[in-house]
Amino acid sequence: MPFTLMPLPYAKEALAPHMSAETLDFHHGKHHKTYVETLNKLILGTPYENTPLESIIEDTCADQDKDKKKIFNNAGQVWNHNFFWNCMTPPKEGATKPRGNALQQIEKAFGNLDDFKSEFKKAATDQFGSGWAWLVLDQGKLKITKTPNAENPLVSGQKALLGCDVWEHAYYLDYQNRRVDMVEAFLNNLVNWEFVAQNLDSSEVRSAA
Query: What is the residue type of 78?
Result: V
In a domain, 7, yes or no: no
Residue segments in the chain with a per-residue pLDDT below the cut of 50: 208-209
Distance CA(151)–CA(143), nearest Å, equals 16
What pLDDT shows up at residue 206? 65
**What is the total count of domains within the chain?**
2
What pLDDT shows up at residue 93? 54
What pLDDT shows up at residue 209? 37
What's the domain range around 158?
100-201
In a domain, 168, yes or no: yes
What pLDDT shows up at residue 77? 98
| Whether residue 115 is found in the same domain as residue 170 | yes
pLDDT one-digit tens code per residue, 97-136: 899 999 999 999 999 999 999 999 999 999 999 999 999 9
* pTM over the 0.85 mark: yes
Query: What is the residue type of 116?
Result: F
Edge-to-edge strand ranges of the sheet holding 141-148: 141-148, 131-138, 159-165
| Whether residue 193 is found in the same domain as residue 139 | yes
| Whether residue 112 is found in the same domain as residue 29 | no
What pLDDT shows up at residue 111? 96
- The last residue of one of the domains, among 38, 60, 86, is 86
